[in-house]
């Protein structure tokens, strides 16, 4: 991002093991916003390394948009625990 000052990102967090309309429980915040906190962690990480926060946004989607709809084992659950980064502008 330092080499491309026009680059703007959206950081999206997701969780597994819940109905699509729900989010996971975050032990640290004591709130049901784990997907938001997951995305915010990446946002904060980039900010600590000098990326201007006006060039980034973050959102949590809970268990919506699962890569694996039927999480039958640990490996499949882990596929849905993720952060996706979207390039909004170049």
- Residue 7, both tokens: 């680059």
Split into its structural domains, the chain has a count of 1
pTM to 2 decimal places: 0.91
* 80 located within any domain: yes
∠ CA 12-18-19 to the nearest 5 degrees? 95
* 2 located within any domain: no
Domain span at residue 12? 8-89
* 84 located within any domain: yes
Residue 25 carries which DSSP code?
P
Q: What is the DSSP string of 26-41?
A: BTTTTBS-HHHHHHHH
CATH number (domain holding residue 85): 3.30.1330.60
Phi, psi of 88 (to 5 degrees): -90, -35
Tokens 């909004």 map to which residue? 88
* Each residue's pLDDT tens digit, 25-80: 999 999 999 999 999 999 999 999 999 999 999 999 999 999 999 999 999 999 99
For residue 70, the tally of other CB atoms under 10 A from its CB is 7
């Amino acid at each position: 991002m330092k080499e491309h000052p026009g680059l703007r990102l959206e950081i999206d967090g997701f969780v597994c093991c819940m109905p699509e309309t729900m989010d996971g429980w975050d032990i640290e915040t004591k709130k049901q916003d784990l997907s938001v906190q997951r995305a915010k962690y990446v946002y904060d990480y980039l900010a600590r390394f000098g990326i201007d926060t006006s060039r980034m946004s973050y959102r949590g989607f809970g268990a919506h948009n699962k890569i694996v709809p039927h999480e039958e084992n640990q490996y499949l659950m882990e596929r849905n625990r993720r952060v996706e980064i979207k390039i909004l502008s170049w």
